[in-house]
């Protein structure tokens, strides 16, 4: 079997590809290839460079695989400026991957998601995990989702946050969410479940819970972590702490970014306990004890979140790229391409007499101010890569585009989640304006315009429904 792993550089993915390579040919996806990875790769592991934001690169990268494993979860920025929340970013990545798997004939995708509690409404983080499940299954593949709560591993961001709090704070303030029950699972056990799901040909589709043998509160988990570290900690239980204050305190102590901390804090109000035992009983192997998992996770602790966050910030600042993703309700009467053309006609009418949008040649569009001769932006429709469900416009030039902007810089409109939504996204764009000027002007104007266009589409959708 040839198994493809997206998210192969994550703390679960790294372990999984090495276990898979013992019996199967493995394709690991990563953003860029370095000599070190190529030299140290197991004999049956092949690395492929792939930017999952690029549909074309993803299609090339997944070619030849029999089964795909999807471990991608994007909660940290990949551009110097990201105008998107993690849920919309995750949907675009999952949609690209699912489309690519469909074209490559991959019939089975194994996905590591999150436990879904029976209580509603769900936090945005857990709702996003469910949406990704839907996006992966939207193009015909059988999706096997293993839903896990807290995965105990030294490189896991959630466990790093917990262990850093225990290490640094002699007194831990415990708001009510620390009494919520969880069922953590060790990273090696998680990998074992994934391995079995990959090789189990009878397990074709569905969502299944996985977890360890111990159910305990988050406060009890912190107490056990302190014990494993040999530290004495006081736990002060308080009746209420605002979620915003909890998030801010965690950011200050751990150095983790708001993008990472806030969604996780919001999800802690949900009880993360296994309710479906189908896979636990189907794959009845001996799972590691909680104490053993904690000791192993602490032993293999990765660089601190503060260091990781700083390094990621340095990386994205060097690129000077902008990524903007907005989700719109899709009017029933319009596919993605029709929405793109509607945007070109709506913009000059909504912002008359300032903006002029004109088709200067078949498939070529120019955006300019009415009192200026030169275009602010010049777009070319990539007709050979576009469909009615995904319309792509390459950013070819204009006063607002830096000379070093990628030739792949693009504006695209695509349908996602069974055509319920249309996403408008800008990728790999580098602005010409000095960064501080851009951030305070053009970036704000773009976001304002796209939100106004979203309201316009909502009115069209309401009219179609009526």
The reported pLDDT for the residue numbered 37 is 59
Report how far residue 411's alpha carbon sits from residue 424's, in angstroms, rounded to the nearest whole number.
Answer: 7
Lowest mean pLDDT among 122-136, 186-200, 292-306, 427-441: 292-306
| pLDDT surpasses 80 at 304 | no
Strands of 137-199, DSSP E = 142-148, 151-152, 171-174, 181-182, 185-186
Per-residue pLDDT, averaged over 171-195, amounts to 96
Report how far residue 460's alpha carbon sits from residue 35's, in angstroms, rounded to the nearest whole number.
Answer: 52
Q: pLDDT tens digits, residue range 206-261? A: 999 999 999 999 999 999 999 999 999 999 999 999 989 999 999 999 988 888 89
The reported pLDDT for the residue numbered 303 is 66
| pLDDT surpasses 90 at 326 | yes
| pLDDT surpasses 60 at 35 | no
The reported pLDDT for the residue numbered 120 is 86
Report how far residue 405's alpha carbon sits from residue 134's, in angstroms, rounded to the nearest whole number.
Answer: 34
C-alpha closest to that of 415 among 457, 370, 384: 457
Mean pLDDT of the chain: 93
Q: pLDDT tens digits, residue range 38-87? A: 556 778 999 999 999 999 999 999 999 999 999 998 877 889 999 999 99
Q: pLDDT tens digits, residue range 126-178? A: 999 999 999 999 999 999 999 999 999 988 889 999 999 999 999 999 999 99
| pLDDT surpasses 80 at 36 | no
Per-residue pLDDT, averaged over 389-414, amounts to 96
More confident residue, 264 or 303: 264
The reported pLDDT for the residue numbered 39 is 59
Helix (H, G, I), strand (E, B) or coil at 7: coil
The reported pLDDT for the residue numbered 314 is 81
Per-residue pLDDT, averaged over 335-357, amounts to 95
Q: How confident is the model at residue 302 (pLDDT cuts 50, 70, 90)?
A: low
Instruction: Answer for the pair 135, 102: CB distance below 8 angstroms, yes or no.
Output: no
Structural domains for the chain: 2-315 (3.40.50.720), 320-465 (3.30.530.20)
The reported pLDDT for the residue numbered 34 is 67
């Amino acid at each position: 079997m040839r198994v493809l792993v997206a998210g192969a550089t994550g703390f679960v993915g790294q372990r999984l590809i090495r276990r898979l390579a013992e019996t199967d040919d493995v394709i690991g996806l990563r953003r860029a290839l370095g000599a070190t990875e190529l030299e140290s790769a197991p004999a049956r592991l092949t690395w492929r460079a792939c930017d999952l934001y690029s549909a074309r690169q993803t299609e090339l990268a997944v070619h030849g695989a029999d089964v795909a494993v999807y471990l991608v979860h994007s909660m940290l920025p990949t551009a110097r400026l990201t105008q998107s929340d993690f849920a919309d970013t995750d949907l675009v990545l999952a949609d690209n991957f699912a489309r690519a798997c469909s074209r490559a004939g991959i019939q089975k995708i194994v996905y590591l998601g999150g436990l879904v509690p029976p209580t509603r409404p769900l936090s945005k983080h857990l709702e996003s995990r469910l949406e990704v499940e839907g996006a992966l299954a939207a193009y015909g593949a059988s999706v096997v989702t293993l839903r896990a709560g807290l995965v105990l591993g030294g490189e896991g961001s959630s466990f790093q946050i917990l262990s850093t709090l225990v290490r640094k704070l002699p007194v831990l303030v415990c708001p009510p969410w620390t009494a919520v029950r969880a069922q953590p699972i060790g990273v090696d056990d998680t990998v074992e479940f994934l391995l079995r799901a990959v090789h189990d040909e009878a397990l074709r589709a569905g969502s299944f819970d996985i977890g360890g043998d111990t159910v305990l509160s988050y406060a009890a988990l912190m107490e056990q972590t302190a014990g494993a570290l040999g530290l004495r900690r006081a736990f002060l239980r308080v009746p209420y702490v605002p979620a915003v204050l909890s998030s801010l305190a965690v950011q200050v102590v751990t150095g983790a970014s708001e993008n990472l901390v806030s969604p996780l804090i919001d999800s802690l109000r949900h009880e993360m306990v296994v309710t479906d035992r189908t896979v636990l009983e189907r794959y009845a192997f001996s799972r590691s004890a909680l104490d053993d998992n904690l000791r192993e996770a602490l032993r293999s602790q990765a660089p601190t979140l503060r260091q990781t966050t700083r390094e990621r910030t340095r990386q994205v600042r060097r690129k000077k790229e902008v990524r903007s993703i907005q989700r719109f309700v899709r009017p029933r009467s319009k596919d993605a391409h029709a929405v793109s053309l509607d945007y070109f006609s709506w913009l000059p009418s909504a912002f008359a007499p300032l903006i002029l949008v004109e088709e200067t040649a078949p498939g070529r569009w120019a955006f300019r101010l009415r009192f200026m001769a030169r275009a602010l932006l010049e777009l070319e429709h990539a007709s050979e890569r576009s469909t009615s469900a995904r319309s792509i416009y390459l950013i070819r030039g204009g006063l607002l585009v830096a000379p070093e902007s990628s030739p792949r810089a693009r504006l695209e409109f695509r349908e996602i989640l069974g055509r319920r939504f249309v996403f408008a996204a800008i990728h790999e764009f580098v602005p010409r304006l000095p960064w501080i000027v851009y951030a305070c002007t053009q970036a704000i104007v773009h976001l304002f315009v796209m939100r106004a266009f979203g309201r316009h589409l909502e009115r069209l959708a309401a009219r179609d429904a009526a």
